[in-house]
Structure 1
Amino acid sequence: MLDSNIQAQLKAYLERLQHPIELIASLDDRPASAEMRELITEIAALNDKVTARFDGSDARRPSFQITRQGADMGVRFAAIPMGHEFTSLVLALLQAGGHPPKVEADVIEQIKSLEGDFVFETYMSLTCHNCPDVVQALNLMAVLNPRVRHVAVDGGLFQDEVEQRQIMAVPSVFLNGQPFGNGRMEIAEILKKVDTGSAARDAAKLSKKDTFDVLIVGGGPAGAAAAVYAARKGIKTGIVAERFGGQTLDTLGIENYISVLETQGPKFAAALEAHAKAYDVDIMNGQRVAKLEPAAQPGGTIAVTLDNGAVLQGRSVILSTGARWKNVNVPGEAEYRNKGVAYCPHCDGPLFKGKKVAVIGGGNSGVEAAIDLAGVVEHVTVVEFADQLKADAVLVNKLKSLPNVQIYTNAQTTEITGDGQKVDGLVFKNRADGSEHRLPLAGVFVQIGLVPNTEFLKGTVELSRYGEIIVDAKGATNVPGVYAAGDATTVPFKQIIIAAGEGAKAALSAFDHLIRTPAAA
Structure 2
Amino acid sequence: MLDPALTKQLAQHLELLRQPVELVASLDDSAKSAQLMELLTEVAALSEKITVVRRDDDERRPSFAIVRPGTDISVRFACVPLGHELTSFVLALLQVGGHPPAVSEEVIEQIRRLDGDYEFVTYLSLSCQNCPEVVQALNLMSVVNPRIKHVAVDGALFKDEVEARGVLAVPSVFLNGEHFEQGRMTLEQILSKLDSGAAQRAAQEIGNKEPFDVLVVGAGPAGVSSAIYAARKSVRTGVAAGRIGGQVLDTMAIENFISVPYTEGPKFAAALEQHASDYEIDIMDSQQAVRLEPATQPGDLHTLVLENDATLKGRTVILATGARWRPIGVPGEQEYRNKGVTYCPHCDGPLFRGKPVAVIGGGNSGVEAAIDLAGIVSHVTLLELGDTLRADEVLQRKLRSLTNVDIVLNAKTTEVLGDGTSVTGLTYTDTETGESRRLDVQGVFVQIGLLPNTEWLEGVVELTKHKEIVVDERGATSVPGVFAAGDCTTEPYKQIVTAMGSGATAALSAFDYLVRTSAPTDD
Q: How far apart, CA to CA, are the structure 2 residues paired with 1:155 and 1:347?
A: 11
Q: CA deviation at 1:31?
A: 2.4
Query: Does the Cα contact within 8 Å between 2:68 and 2:74 map onto a contact in 1?
Result: no
- The RMSD of aligned alpha carbons is 1.2
Partner of 1:221: 221
Partner of 2:4: 4
Query: Does the Cα contact within 8 Å between 1:476 and 1:482 map onto a contact in 2?
Result: yes
Q: CA deviation at 1:518?
A: 2.4
Partner of 1:494: 494
Query: Does the Cα contact within 8 Å between 1:299 and 1:519 map onto a contact in 2?
Result: no
Q: How far apart, CA to CA, are the structure 1 residues paired with 2:96 and 2:53?
A: 16
1:234-249 aligned at under 5 Å gives the runs 234-249=234-249
Give the counterpart letter for 2:215 in structure 1.
L
Query: Does the Cα contact within 8 Å between 2:22 and 2:67 map onto a contact in 1?
Result: yes
Query: Does the Cα contact within 8 Å between 1:231 and 1:237 map onto a contact in 2?
Result: yes
Partner of 1:45: 45
Distance 1:352 1:235, change over 3 A: same
- Equivalent residue of 2:487, what SS? coil
Q: CA deviation at 1:403?
A: 0.9
Partner of 2:210: 210
Give the counterpart letter for 2:252 in structure 1.
L
Give the counterpart letter for 1:129 in structure 2.
Q
TM value normalised by structure 1? 0.98
The number of residues matched between the two structures is 520
TM value normalised by structure 2? 0.98
1:442-453 aligned at under 5 Å gives the runs 442-453=442-453
Query: Does the Cα contact within 8 Å between 2:359 and 2:370 map onto a contact in 1?
Result: yes
Distance 1:56 1:404, change over 3 A: closer
Distance 1:68 1:519, change over 3 A: farther
Q: CA deviation at 1:259?
A: 1.1
Give the counterpart letter for 2:13 in structure 1.
Y
Q: How far apart, CA to CA, are the structure 1 residues paired with 2:247 and 2:497?
A: 13
Q: How far apart, CA to CA, are the structure 1 residues paired with 2:283 and 2:54?
A: 44
Residues 1:270 and 2:270 aligned together: yes
Query: Does the Cα contact within 8 Å between 1:383 and 1:411 map onto a contact in 2?
Result: yes
Question: Runs of at least 4 residues of structure 1 off by over 3 A?
Answer: none
Q: How far apart, CA to CA, are the structure 1 residues paired with 2:44 and 2:254?
A: 35
Partner of 1:471: 471
Give the counterpart letter for 1:303 in structure 2.
T
Q: CA deviation at 1:34?
A: 2.0
1:164-179 aligned at under 5 Å gives the runs 164-179=164-179
Q: CA deviation at 1:11?
A: 1.6
- Equivalent residue of 2:87, what SS? helix
Q: CA deviation at 1:364?
A: 0.9
Query: Does the Cα contact within 8 Å between 1:360 and 1:384 map onto a contact in 2?
Result: yes
Partner of 1:396: 396
Partner of 1:304: 304
Q: How far apart, CA to CA, are the structure 2 residues paired with 1:14 and 1:498?
A: 39
- Equivalent residue of 1:444, what SS? strand
Q: How far apart, CA to CA, are the structure 1 residues paired with 2:453 and 2:440?
A: 34
1:13-92 aligned at under 5 Å gives the runs 13-92=13-92
1:465-499 Cα deviation digits (max 9, x unpaired): 11111111111111111000000011111111111
Residues 1:365 and 2:365 aligned together: yes
Partner of 2:93: 93
Q: How far apart, CA to CA, are the structure 1 residues paired with 2:466 and 2:71?
A: 56
Q: How far apart, CA to CA, are the structure 1 residues paired with 2:195 and 2:512?
A: 42
Q: How far apart, CA to CA, are the structure 1 residues paired with 2:369 and 2:449?
A: 13
Query: Does the Cα contact within 8 Å between 2:318 and 2:484 map onto a contact in 1?
Result: yes
Q: CA deviation at 1:56?
A: 4.8
Give the counterpart letter for 2:244 in structure 1.
F
Partner of 1:189: 189
Partner of 2:126: 126
Give the counterpart letter for 2:267 in structure 1.
K
Q: How far apart, CA to CA, are the structure 2 residues paired with 1:301 and 1:131?
A: 39
Partner of 1:328: 328
1:403-440 Cα deviation digits (max 9, x unpaired): 11111111110111111111111111101111111111
Q: CA deviation at 1:28?
A: 2.2
Partner of 2:457: 457
- Equivalent residue of 2:503, what SS? helix
Q: How far apart, CA to CA, are the structure 2 residues paired with 1:39 and 1:72?
A: 24
Q: How far apart, CA to CA, are the structure 1 residues paired with 2:4 and 2:462?
A: 58
1:368-421 Cα deviation digits (max 9, x unpaired): 111111111111001111111111122112111111111111111011111111
Query: Does the Cα contact within 8 Å between 2:74 and 2:96 map onto a contact in 1?
Result: no
- Equivalent residue of 2:518, what SS? coil
- Equivalent residue of 1:239, what SS? strand
Could you list the runs of 5+ residues in structure 1 that have no partner in the other structure? none
- Equivalent residue of 1:487, what SS? helix
Partner of 2:353: 353
1:337-369 Cα deviation digits (max 9, x unpaired): 111101000111111111110000111111111
Q: How far apart, CA to CA, are the structure 1 residues paired with 2:300 and 2:195?
A: 36
Residues 1:232 and 2:245 aligned together: no
Query: Does the Cα contact within 8 Å between 1:216 and 1:239 map onto a contact in 2?
Result: yes
Partner of 2:436: 436
Partner of 2:156: 156
Q: CA deviation at 1:167?
A: 1.0
Q: How far apart, CA to CA, are the structure 2 residues paired with 1:203 and 1:143?
A: 28
Give the counterpart letter for 1:29 in structure 2.
D
Q: How far apart, CA to CA, are the structure 2 residues paired with 1:385 and 1:311?
A: 43
Q: CA deviation at 1:192?
A: 1.2
Partner of 1:111: 111
Query: Does the Cα contact within 8 Å between 2:16 and 2:94 map onto a contact in 1?
Result: yes
Q: How far apart, CA to CA, are the structure 1 residues paired with 2:331 and 2:373?
A: 24
Q: How far apart, CA to CA, are the structure 1 residues paired with 2:422 and 2:381?
A: 18
Give the counterpart letter for 1:407 in structure 2.
I
Give the counterpart letter for 1:75 in structure 2.
V
Q: How far apart, CA to CA, are the structure 1 residues paired with 2:164 and 2:322?
A: 37
Q: How far apart, CA to CA, are the structure 2 residues paired with 1:311 and 1:167?
A: 38
Partner of 1:254: 254
Q: How far apart, CA to CA, are the structure 2 residues paired with 1:455 and 1:361?
A: 24
Query: Does the Cα contact within 8 Å between 1:300 and 1:519 map onto a contact in 2?
Result: no
- Equivalent residue of 2:488, what SS? coil
Query: Does the Cα contact within 8 Å between 1:352 and 1:443 map onto a contact in 2?
Result: yes
1:235-282 Cα deviation digits (max 9, x unpaired): 111111101101100000101111111111110011111111111211
Q: How far apart, CA to CA, are the structure 2 residues paired with 1:37 and 1:205?
A: 48
Query: Does the Cα contact within 8 Å between 1:355 and 1:378 map onto a contact in 2?
Result: yes
Q: CA deviation at 1:100?
A: 1.5
